[in-house]
Chain A
Amino acid sequence: MLRFDHVSLTYGTQKILNNISFEIQEGQFAVFIGPSGCGKTTTLKMINRLIQPDSGHIYLNDEDIASIDRYELRRHTGYVIQQIGLFPNMTVAQNICVVPKLLKWPKDKCDQIVHDLLDMVELPYDQYAHKYPGEMSGGQQQRIGILRALAASPPVVLMDEPFSALDPMTRRSLQLEVKNLQQKLNKTIVFVTHDMEEALDLADVIVFMNQGEIVQIAPPEEMLENPATDQIKEFLGKHQTGPDPSGLTVDQFMRTGIITVKENRGINECVSRMQHHNVDTLLVVDEQRRYQGTVSIADIRLTGHVVKSIGPLVRCTTPTVHVGDNAKACFEQLISSGFPYLVVLKEDETVAGIVTKTSMASAMAEQLWG
């Protein structure tokens, strides 16, 4: 659909674009992003010949755009700019019809376009068509700016940071609207932004540029997974997901430093240890510190007077899992078993820690919010 073939541009001694080549498919939402001065806006403006390359070719549907009359080219290419640029001397309807009028479309067709487009963004015709841009909010103005770009049904729409001057709420709703319009009308959109969140939300494909070169072209998911450079990683910043959660193991979620007691110890020692650490259950281990079971204060109260050591009171009902077990499976076991915790054992059956709902929750929170 749109293809750059070894395009370069130099101002004086400064290389603005250095031999860039890429292709955008029909119906794709392509977002160009990168640090300021990386050449993304220059690239965009070459598509409607506002800027001419020094060398290389740009093809639109396999036709070299250098061979198309530049006014004709621009009339068939939508263009939305950051400063909006609605003509203040024209009404909303006149602004929308600028390009159809340049193309000398009949008046009733132009009127129909205004009706249809205002309908599409749910701005009532009677209320808005005859307003002047100065009477509307920035968000409404940029809505009209987008309609002006769409009025002559161009196959390609160029958007140069269209939302960066708007407040976050308005920006959000316009982003959704543009994405909707693009899918409904099957437009090819070339969009420039410096906001990675916007890029990730809107793009079918993200083109990351730096110093006049393309660093990476990838769909958002792929860029998140495999950023090509540290700079891209930095741009992705907080949007980058952590390691794949399905690979997490239970030891990342457990509480360590658990109080244990040896099975041959006396009742009194056990009780005082419980009191000291303010718990109602201790994990029982043997001489080699291997896990044997648990002993609870309830059992000691019930039968503690007939036995001297805790050995006979040890229960082995609490489920155990091993370090390295899948965290998700362990979490499901914890929930379904009804026990307040799971005991996590090391390879040699000694105690590594326990997993409680609280330890799970706090570990997850850490994964989520860092």
Chain B
Amino acid sequence: MNELLLSILQATVRHTGYTLMCVAIGFVLGLLLGVGLSRLPTLSKVLIPLLSILNTVPGIVFIGVLVILIGMTPATVIIALSIYAMFPVLKNTVTGLNGVDQQYKEAARGCGMNHYQRLVQVELPLAMPTIIGGLRLSTVYTVSWAVLAAMIGQGGLGDFVYKGVSSNNNALILQGAIPAAILALVLGGLVDALQKRVVPKGLRKGGAGK
């Protein structure tokens, strides 16, 4: 029994590790690319639909391709999951920045802010609720996508699921599924807590940010 708990715990830690690392990389990439694309409306008109199409490629296919290119290593898992984690953040960053009301952009320009100051002092804070919404989505998705790591022998809660599926053992499937569900809830809750910290106070009371 203790051995079972230990193996679940080990798998959960590994699963959490994949998730956090990939979400962190995906968030940074998504934010940077999102900011870049929001500054280049012509490029983003081409690139965003393209990325959306890429987003619909099933994770299994993408990992399969990466395995051919890189091999069955943790790097394969991290690259694949990071890219998937990036999409919601990227999309929400572009949406959030484009959705900043013209009056604030105009006022920021009129006050003499340069591009960087406008972005950091006005546009990003105002887009923050939307961006964090993207982060939440990507966190919850990544928890479930990390199950795929087991497919190429890289462990995580997916191990139980795959073994359970192949041996038709429901208890084994639940051993993987239940901790994964709990993990998704906990990490989602963490992002919500983060949201409260990083969204500017003036936007939380409603009214002004609309």
Contacts and interface: CB of A to CB of B under 8 A. Distances in A.
A48 B203 contact: no
Contact of A99 (B101, B106, B109, B111): B111
A67 B62 CA distance: 54
B107 A87 contact: yes
Contact of A75 (B111, B200, B206): B111
A81 B103 CA distance: 8
Contact of B122 (A72, A75, A89): A89
A91 interface: yes
A262 B103 CA distance: 80
Give the interface centre of B111, B113, B121 by most chain A CB atoms within 10 Å. B111
Q: How large is the interface on B (under 10, 10 to 19, 20 to 34, 35 or more residues)?
A: 20 to 34
Interface in A69-112: 71-76, 79, 81, 83-91, 98-99, 102
A317 to B, nearest CB: 74
B107 A79 contact: yes
Nearest to A70: B112
Contact of B202 (A72, A76, A79, A88): A88
Q: How large is the interface on A (under 10, 10 to 19, 20 to 34, 35 or more residues)?
A: 20 to 34
B208 A85 contact: no
A88 B101 CA distance: 11
B121 to A, nearest CB: 8
B117 interface: yes
Nearest to B208: A134
Contact of A102 (B117, B200, B206): B117
Contacts of A361: none
A98 B126 CA distance: 16
A87 B104 contact: yes
A52 to B, nearest CB: 13
Contacts of B121: 87, 98
Given A85-B103, A89-B126, A102-B117, A48 B202 contact: no
A258 interface: no
Contacts of B206: 134
Nearest to B108: A87
Which 7 pairs of residues, A with B, have the shortest CB-CB distance? A134-B208, A85-B107, A89-B200, A79-B110, A75-B112, A132-B202, A88-B208
12 contacts: A81-B103, A85-B110, A87-B104, A87-B121, A102-B111, A132-B205, A132-B208, A133-B202, A134-B202, A134-B206, A134-B208, A148-B111
